[in-house]
Amino acid sequence: MATNDSTTNVKRLQVRRYKPEENPETHYLNQEKGLWAWLTTVDHKKIGLMYLGAIAFFFFVGGVLALLLRTELLTPARSFMDADVYNQVFTLHGAIMIFFFLIPAGPAVLGNFILPLQLGAKDVAFPRLNLASFYIYVIGAVFTLVAIFTGGVDTGWTFYTPYSATTGGNVMAMTFGVFILGFSSILTGMNFIVTIHKMRAPGITWNKLPLNMWALYATSIIQILATPVLAITLLLLTMERALGIGIFDPALGGDPVLYQHFFWFYSHPAVYIMIVPGFGVISEVISTFSRKIIFGYWAIALSSLAIAFIGFLVWGHHMFTAGQSSLANMVFSFLTFLVGIPTGIKIFNWLATMYKGSIDMKTPMLYAMVFLFLFTLGGFTGIMLGALSVDIHLHDTYYVVAHFHYVMMGGMVMAFLAGLHYWWPKIFGKMYSEFWAKISLGLLFIGFNMTFLPQFVMGAQGMPRRYFNYIDQFQSFHQFSTIGAYVMGVAFVIMAGYMLHSLMKGKPASANPWGSRALEWQTSSPPDLHNFHHTPVVINGPYDYHKPMSEFQLGIATSHNGHGHHDHETVNVPKTEKEQA
């Protein structure tokens, strides 16, 4: 199948080489002018950037909340905020970071920008739905802000019943906000699945799909299968609070553990919505900076799908101590170990890709290596928590907190930053300072481990999570952890600094500064509003570094610029492939 159109199996295309234009005069950032054009754009790249702005804002808010929490924990009992305020702050930190940062960070920001470029498409399949997904996200965010300013929420990000059905504050606005947010996530997933299926450029068969696409594909499948269950869960919870329908409330005859089943049926797969796009980024970065074909292409591609599937079988490991039947406990504990297999396959293949490659220690590559280190630690501690007997001891302690942050911050945030630094020249057409980027990364790595390594020890010794107070023996751990958090804060300030500097005064980036073979680098930086001036044609895999660059810059040879519809020109043009101008 040469193209998306399957009416003929073999189709001959006349191709020629298109070298990407260096530093183009017009590109997607300046082709439409004015704020209104930005707010109503249906261009996937601009929508991705608007998402980037939104998640950067929420990452800042969530980060400040985290620093407040850590500051409060410098001393036992009250340092500067009350216990009630503390409860609200950790709830908001969790809810904002998960629902407003981690979930959109992979698909909606990096995915939105890169996916059509890597497929050689002009846009996603449903651009208007894509814009709608952004505004739905904004509406969800507004509801959350309303919740914060009208009483706050102190349930923890999990909204467990019966507490969430009876506590004060404005839980309803918050759950309704997250409910709305789910639709945004569903629309993104739907768009990506259809785009990957129907809009690949000529020559991109399933075995030439970049691994980032496989990762986003797996993510989208989780999004569309799991998110509706979150929607119904939160709707039932909202009705529980509004009317007292009793399905989850034991006071009315309901079962609170059933709520946890519903919630984790979404929320466990949701952690894979957060991390799997990161896996895709890491695959791209490691291959590019090792100058080497990816090791085990199909193993990495299929392990993404395997993770997506197994992720649906293990939700009960969050409920080992919640009162579910011991049979379910055993089954869930066993199934949880299975997740380690595809993840291990990925780590192995990445390391094998690096082996004997000519590794270039640019910032994105360093981020990828930090990811490998931290994520492996996070993964192993996850296996420990999945073991039933160990979890009974460690459940709801700081050990869980540390594990989660190693996986999510050490894993996903590092992978996201790797992707952001990797595609930054493509997105903005500017380079950033390698020096300051490496300083910032070094501080981040040190600060991260200072913050979360002590929490493993604390947790194993019995420090419960979400507690405002603690006994004196934990104070030195807590203080060390807090200092680590400040170091991370400094690292992020430096990052914001050099990124702003790059936007204002950065050196212009070339079309392909890393010498990558992937399709998104074969157009100008920043790309044209319609991504390519031609219809790209792909004959090699995205990681074939042993083949010359000229074979990666092909497009259908036509007189027009590839816009509009010109069926007669793309069909049955008798000519051999591989002919370069």
- Site of interaction with another protein (CB under 8 A): 3-7, 121-123, 125-127, 186, 189-191, 193-194, 197-199, 224-229, 231-233, 235-236, 239, 242-247, 250-255, 257-258, 261-262, 265, 312-313, 315-316, 319, 323-328, 331-332, 530, 563-565, 567-568, 570
What is the Cα–Cα distance from 362 to 326, expressed in whole angstroms? 50
Backbone angles phi, psi at 391, to 5 degrees: -65, -30
Q: Pick the closer one to another protein by CB: 227 or 283.
A: 227
Closer CB to another protein, 57 or 337, in the complex: 337
Tell me whether the omega of the peptide bond preceding residue 162 falls within 30 degrees of 0, making it cis: yes
Residue 273 or residue 377: which is nearer to another protein going by CB? Answer: 273
Report the nearest approach of another protein to the CB of residue 402 (Å): 28
- Using CA atoms, how far apart are residues 404 and 410, in angstroms rounded to an integer? 9
How near is the Cβ of 520 to another protein at its closest, in Å? Answer: 16
In the complex, the smallest distance separating the C-beta of residue 528 from another protein, rounded to whole angstroms, is 13
Shortest Å, Cβ 229 to another protein: 5
If the CB atoms of residues 251 and 392 are measured against another protein, the closer one turns out to be 251
Q: Do 274 and 106 form a contact (C-beta atoms < 8 A)?
A: yes
Of residues 245 and 352, the one with the C-beta less far from another protein: 245
Complex with another protein: residue 315 or 521, whichever CB lies closer: 315
| Lookup: tokens for 239 | 């009705």
List CB contacts of 390: < 8 A, sequence separation 6 or more.
384
Q: In this complex, which beta carbon is closest to another protein, that of residue 197 or of residue 393?
A: 197
Q: Closest CB to another protein among 122 and 426? A: 122
Give the span between the Cα atoms of 263 and 322, in whole angstroms: 13
Least distance to another protein from the beta carbon of 118, Å?
A: 15
H-type alpha helices, 408-433: 414-428
What backbone torsions phi and psi does residue 50 show, to the nearest 5 degrees? -65, -40
Minimum Å distance from CB 235 to another protein?
Answer: 8
Per-residue buried b or exposed e for 71-93, using 16+ beta carbons within 10 Å of the residue's own CB:
ebbebeeeeebeeebbbbbbbbb
Residues 414, 442: contact at Cβ < 8 Å? no
**Minimal distance in Å, beta carbon 43 to another protein?**
10
CA distance 54 to 105: 10
Q: With the C-alpha atoms ordered 369, 370, 375, 376, is the resulting torsion angle positive or negative?
A: positive
Q: Which is nearer to another protein, 64 or 242 (CB)?
A: 242
DSSP 243: T
CB of 55 to another protein, least distance (A): 23
Measured from the Cβ of residue 305, the count of other Cβ atoms closer than 10 Å reads 16
DSSP-assigned beta bridge partners for residue 397: 464
- Nearest distance, CB of residue 239 and another protein, angstroms: 7
Dump the DSSP string for 87-147.
Answer: HHHHHHHHHIIIIIIIHHIIIIIIIHHHHHHHHT-SS-S-HHHHHHHHHHHHHHHHHHHHH
Which C-beta is closer to another protein: that of 168 or that of 244? Answer: 244
Q: Tell me the closest approach of the beta carbon of residue 356 to another protein, in angstroms.
A: 39
Please, which residue, 126 or 163, has the CB nearer to another protein? 126
Rounded CA separation 176/86 (Å): 23
In whole angstroms, how close is the CB of 454 to another protein at the nearest point?
35
Under 8 Å between Cβ of 537 and 203: yes
